[in-house]
Amino acid sequence: MALAQADVLAGLKEIIEEVAGIPAATVEMDKNFTDDLDVDSLSMVEVVVAAEERFGVKIPDDSVTDLVTVGDAVNFIVNASK
Amino acid sequence: MSIKVAPVGHSRILSVGSYRPKRLVPNSEIVERIDSTDEWIQQRTGIETRRFAGDDETVISMAKAACEIALKRAKLTIADIDTVILATISYPFQAPSAATELINELGNPKAAAFDISAACAGFCYGVGMASDLVRTGTSTNVLVIGVEKLSDYTDPDDRATAFIFADGAGAVVIGKSDQPRIAQTIWGSDADSRDAILLSPSYLDFKKNPTKGVADLGWPNISQQGQTVFRWAVYQMSKAGIKAIEAAGITVDELGAFIPHQANIRIIETMAKEMKLPDSVLIADDIRTNGNTSAASVPLAMDQILQEHPELHGKLALLIGYGAGLVYAAQVVELPPRP
């Protein structure tokens, strides 16, 4: 069953706060991981692995570079859960 | 009818020695060509400085210097060594091996000698093999060397690698022991990710295109997919580390030190977190001042942490090497006694 977008965003907020120390309140759908949240490429890998475990989806390395904004990641995870 | 074999014994690391090239290269010397900053490099890798070998510091001369220190600390001479295993990816000849040039230079051209190509895992592959050779009686004293001159295979204009790789050599002597002091090696490959770290093009490309040179074809410099390597290193290698600890029959709190391949401080710290190493385990961070020296990094880091923390002599350490292949090897060892 597909995950709800709001649930995925809430989960990602927690993960990003834990991995990168970014306050969850500042993590919104339109935020750019690199430019707005200062999540670098290696922290992004930690976020992705934590998200895979939490949401039970696979996010291949090739797809990680396409996840530019938080919204990209949320939508990828929602689609992968269908 | 049966054949005779020696009883299986035990092995240990008798000593460690290392050689660091003379020239210290700060990030400020690297950044201009790759449009980067000291802060960016330190934040991504932990590297503050590295050492680049000069023309007079070759794979062989660096290996020789490390071996001479290791032999002296073990109170042995090269005549006591019957086997030499040398791990490198930067010896610039396909054959004969670097190990045979080394034994000739060291003054014992009769020892068994060979190279192993397992990139950044090469030293730990060598430790596992040397331990088993000693245990089964094939060898008595083995020199295991990790040595690299990666500055010869690094593109100073490559924004992904120019600041990572460096040069140096480290060596250990492995000999007999009265009790187990080197545990089982956990090793393997993930060769379906073979493209994640590459040295290309092939030397044959130069032969096939005789009118073209390095300017056209490039040079077999190291390239790597950073995120793929980071993910594999942190999440797969921490599992290999745990397996090595279990194979040794110990728990993480019995370790004195964690001495992983010095690839990137972020990999090292995240791996330690994944393995849930307690604060009592000292973590080698030689990468900060000496960069990533591939096969040489584990023995260099071992020598460094023993210099800084002499109380670690005789304590248990988890070694793990991982790199191009992708290949890996890990084992728990008792660190060599105080010389």
Chain A residues lying within 8 Å of B225, measured CB to CB: 61
Tokens representing residue B16 in the block: 């460690």
Q: Give CA–CA dist B141/B174, Å, rounded.
A: 6
Query: What single-letter DSSP state applies at residue A59?
Result: -
Backbone phi, psi, residue A78, to 5°: -60, -45
What architecture is domain A5-80?
Orthogonal Bundle (1.10)
- Give the residue-averaged pLDDT of A44-59: 92
Q: Give CA–CA dist B148/B120, Å, rounded.
A: 10
Query: In chain B, which residues touch A (CB < 8 A)?
Result: 43-44, 225-228, 230-231, 234-235, 264, 266, 270
Block mean pLDDT (10 aa), chain B, length 339: 92 98 96 92 93 97 98 98 98 96 96 97 98 98 98 92 95 98 97 91 89 88 89 92 98 98 94 95 97 97 98 98 96 97
Best residue of A47, A49, A61, A62 to probe chain B, by most B CBs closer than 10 Å: A61
| Contacts with B17 (C-beta within 8 Å, 6 or more apart), sequence order | B65, B66, B67, B68, B69, B70, B71, B72, B73, B170, B171, B172, B299, B303
Q: Give CA–CA dist B59/A68, Å, rounded.
A: 43
Taking 90 as the threshold, does the pLDDT of residue A40 lie above it? no
| Residue B242 CB-density burial (10 A; 0-12 exposed, 13-18 middle, 19+ buried) | middle
User: What does the pLDDT read at residue B48?
Assistant: 96
Find the closest chain B residue to A49 by CA distance. B231
Looking at the complex, report in whole angstroms how far the Cα of residue A46 sits from the nearest Cα belonging to chain B.
Answer: 8
Q: Give CA–CA dist B246/A51, Å, rounded.
A: 28
Kind of pairing between the strands at B257-260 and B10-19? unpaired
C-alpha distance from residue A40 to each of A45, A74, B111 (Å): 9, 18, 49
Domains and CATH numbers, chain B: 10-177 (3.40.47.10), 186-334 (3.40.47.10)
Q: Give CA–CA dist A37/B37, Å, rounded.
A: 20
Q: Do A42 and B266 touch (CB under 8 A)?
A: yes
Which of B152, B157, B23, B21 minimizes the C-alpha distance to B89? Answer: B152
Which of B278, B276, B240 minimizes the C-alpha distance to B260? Answer: B240
User: What does the pLDDT read at residue B318?
Assistant: 98
Best residue of A45, A53, A58 to probe chain B, by most B CBs closer than 10 Å: A45
Q: Which residues of B are catalytic?
A: 120, 261, 292
Instruction: Tell me the three state secondary structure of residue B47.
Output: coil
Tell me how crowded residue A12 is: count the other CB atoms within 10 A of its CB: 22
User: What does the pLDDT read at residue A1?
Assistant: 67
Q: What percent of chain B is helix, strand and coil (3-state, nearest 5)?
A: 40, 25, 35
Q: Give CA–CA dist A33/A13, Å, rounded.
A: 12
Which of B249, B244, B184, B181 minimizes the C-alpha distance to B11? Answer: B181
Give the residue extent of every domain in chain A: 5-80
Specify whether the CB–CB gap between A33 and A39 falls below 8 A. yes
Tokens representing residue B21 in the block: 């090239």
Looking at the complex, report in whole angstroms how far the Cα of residue B271 sits from the nearest Cα belonging to chain A.
Answer: 11
Looking at the complex, report in whole angstroms how far the Cα of residue A38 sits from the nearest Cα belonging to chain B.
Answer: 12
Q: Which of A40, A45, A65 sits opposite B231 (nearest CB)?
A: A45
Chain B residues lying within 8 Å of A48, measured CB to CB: 231
Q: Give CA–CA dist B142/B13, Å, rounded.
A: 10
Query: Per-residue pLDDT tens for B228-247?
Result: 898 899 889 999 999 999 99
Query: Per-residue pLDDT tens for B69-89?
Result: 999 999 999 999 999 999 999
Taking 80 as the threshold, does the pLDDT of residue A35 lie above it? yes
Better-predicted residue by pLDDT, B262 or A43: B262
Q: Do B226 and A41 touch (CB under 8 A)?
A: yes
Q: Work out the pLDDT band at A51, boundaries 50, 70, 90.
A: very high
- Checking ipTM against 0.95, whether it exceeds it is no
Query: In chain A, which residues touch B (CB < 8 A)?
Result: 40-42, 44-46, 48-49, 61, 64-65
